[in-house]
Structure 1
Amino acid sequence: MERDIERWRQRAAGLENRVAALESDLEGRKQRIGQLEGERQSLQAKAEDLSRELGEARVALREQEVTLDKERRSTTEKLELLERNRDALKQEFENLANKIFEQKSERFSQQTRTSLDTLLNPFRDQLQDFRKRVEDVYTTETRDRQALRSEIKSLQDLNRQITEEASNLTRALKGDKKIQGNWGELILERVLEKSGLRKGVEYDTQGSYRDGDNQLYRPDVIVHLPDRRNLIVDSKVSLLAYQRWVTEEEDSGAGDEALKQHIDAVRNHIQTLSEKDYSQLHGLHSPDFVLLFMPIEPAFVAAFQQDENLFAEAFERKIIVVTPTTLLATLRTIENIWRYERQSQNARRIAERAGAVYDKLRVFVEAMERLGSQLHTAQGTYDSAMNNLTRGRGNLISQANRFVELGVRVKKELPKAIMDQAEVDDGEESEIADDNDLPDTEEQTIGADNQQE
C-alpha cells in the first residue's frame, strides 16, 4: 500500500513538473505573440504612412490638373483673341491697300505693294512665331501633366524596388565602408535620375568648393533652385550595426545592443554632417539645412522609431534625414518648381514678344497714317495742278493750243486725253478771231495814210 502511495506521489510530482514546463513554454509563446503583435503594428503604421503619402500625392495631382486646365483655357482664350485681332487687322490692311491701289497708277501701286510687303512680312513672321510659342507651351503642359501622373503611379513601385535592392546588397556591402559609400551614392544618383531633374542643369555631383579658410569641401549632390539658391544632399550609409540587429533580433540582449549601435552610428553621421558649414562656401547660396540621405528605408525606420528624439536632434543641427521615398517626393517638387519657373519665363517672353508686336503694329499704323496724309496731300496737289493745266480762264492747255492755232510749229501735239479734259476759253477764241482780222485793218489804215499824203 505504501509503495502504491509512493508511486502515485512520484507520478504527481512528474505531472507537476510537466505542468510547470508547459506553463513556461506557454509564457514564452505569449511573449513571442506580443513581439509579433508589435511587429504587425509597426508594419501597419508604415502601411498607413504610405497610404497617406499616396493620398497626398493624389490630391496634389488633382490640384495641379485643375491649375493646368485653367492655364490651358486661359492660353486658348488668348490665342483666339489674337486670331480675331489678326483677322481684323488683316481685313483693315486689305481694305486700305485696295483703296490705295484703286487711286494710284500701276507703277505707284507696285511701289506701294512692295512697301506694304516690307512692313507686313516681319509682322506676319512675329505673329506666326507667337502662335508657335503658345502652341508649344500648351503641348509642354499636356506632356508634363501626363508625365506627372505616370511618376506618381510609379512612386510606390520605385520605393519597393529600391528597398529590395538595398536588402539584397546588404551582405555584399558588409564590412567595406568604401563600397558602402559608393553604393549609397549610386542609389542617390538613381533617385536623382527618376526625379526628372537634369544633371549639369538642375543638379551637380561631386563639386569642389572652399570656405573662407580655404578648406576644401566635396558635397555629394548640389540641387539648384530658382533665384540662384542651392540645396545640398549628402549620402550616409549605416549598415553594419543594422545588419547585426536584423540577424540577432531573436536574441534580445545582442539585438538591443546592435540597435543601440545603429542609432549611435546615425547620430554620429548627423553630428559629422552638421559640423560642415556649407552655407559659408564660396559660390554656393545654400539654405540653412542639409539633407542627409539614408538609402535603406528599414534602417531609417528602425533608428527613428526606437529613438524618438533623434529627428529633433537632427533638426536642431539643421539636418533633415531623408530616404529614397521622401527624397524623391522632394526632388519631384523641385522639378515642378523648375517647370513652373520655365513656364513663367516663357510667359514673360511671350508678353515681351506681344509688346514688341504691339509696338511694331503701332509703328506700322503711324506709318500708314503718314502715308495716307501724304497721299491726300499729293492728291490735292495733283488736282490743283490739273485744274491749272486744264480748267479755268487762261489755263495752260488753252494757251498752248492758241500757239498752234496761230501757226506755231510743233513736233507733236499734246495727248488727246488732256486736250479732251481741257476747257476751251470762248474769250480766247474771240480774241483769236479778232487777230485774224488784223491784216485787213492794217491795210485800211495804210490806205488812209496814202490818201492824206
Structure 2
Amino acid sequence: MEQIIIGVLAFTIGVILCSVFWKLKIDVKNSEIKNILEQKEQINNNSINLKETFANIASDALKNNNESFLTLANEKMSNYQNQAKSDLEKRHVEIQKLINPAIETIKAIDNRIEIFDKDRIRSQTSTYEQMNVLIKETSDLSKALRAPNLRGAWGEMQLRRVVEIAGMMKFCDFVEQKVFSDDDSRIIPDLVVNMAGGKNIVVDAKTPMDAYIKSIESEDKKIKENYISQHIKNTRDHVNSLSSKKYWDQFPDSPELVVMFIPIESVYMSVLDNDSSLLEWASNKNVIIASPLSLLALLKSFAVGWREESMAENAKQISDLGRELYERLSVFTEHFGSIGTTLGRTVDAYNKAVSSFQSRVFVTAKKFKEINIIDQNDNDLELKQIDKVAKKIEKD
C-alpha cells in the first residue's frame, strides 16, 4: 500500500515538475516570440520611414528633373516649332509651285468640260430633232410603202440611186422606162443596162411588201409564219411573171436573164432566210434576184467592162494618132532637111564672098593705113569665114 502511495506521489511530483518545465519553456518561447514581433514591428516602422524618406527624395528628384526636362523640352520644342514652321513655309511655297500648274490645268479642264457639256447638249438636242425627223420620215415611208403606186416609184428611185453609186450614170449606159412591144402586149422594164460589147440586161424593180410588213407588225407567231409564207409566195409569183416576159428576146446576142431588183435588204433577206432554194429556183427560170448590195456589185462589174472597152478604144486612138504623128514628122523632117541644104549653100556663098573680100578688097583698103590717111588706132576691116555647117536630119 505504501508503495502505491509512494508511486502515486512520485508520479504526481513528476507531472508537476514536467508542467513547471514546459511552462518555463513556453514562457521562454513566448518571450522570444514577443521579441521577434517587436523586432518585426520595428523593422516595419523603419521600412515605412525608409519608404517615406525615399519617396520624399524621389519626389524631390523627380520634381527637379521634371522642371529641368520641361525647360529643356520647351526650348527644344520651341526650336523644333520654329524650324518646322520655316520648313512648312518652304514646303508650302514648293507645293504651291507644284499645285499651281495643276490648278490651272484643272480650271482649263473644267472649262473644256463645260464647253463639252454645252456641245453635248446641243448635239443631243440636234440628235433628238434628227431622230424625230427620221421617225416622221420612217412613218411616212412606211405609209407610202403600203400604197402600190408610191411603192413602185420608190423602188425605181432606189434603183436609180444604186446605178448612180455604181458609176453607170457617168457612162450613160441605162435607159429608164423604155417600152418594147411584142405581138400581144407592151413590155415596160424599169431599166435596161447597156453592157460593153453591145449586149443588154433588163432590170425590173419589185417591192413585195404587203405580207412582209404585216409579218413584222404581227405579234402572234402563227400569224407571223403565215404572212412570211405569203411573202415568199408573192416573191415567187414576181419571178414567174418576169420569167414569162422574156425580156432578153428583145436584145440579140444578150444573155437570157433578167434581174429582179428588191430595193430593201431586209425584205430580200427575209425571203432567203425562209426559202433557201429561192435563188436556185429563180436562176433556173432565168431570173436573178438582187438586193441593193448584190445589184451594186453586178453594176460595178459592168462599169469595169465599160472602162476596159474605153481603154481599148483609147489605145486604138493612140495608135492611130501615133501613126499620123510619125507621118507628119516624116514630112516635117524633109522640109527641115531642105532648110539645112539651103543653109549649107548660103554658108558656101558667104565663105566665098569673105575670101574674095580678104584677097581683093581688104588688101587695097589696108594701104590707106600705110599712107596715114586712116588713123592707126581704127579697127581693121576683117571678116571671118564660117567653118560650121548645118547637120543633116537622118531618118531610119
TM-score (norm 2): 0.50
Greater relative CO, 1 or 2 (CA 8 Å, sep 6+): 1
Structure with greater Cα Rg: 2
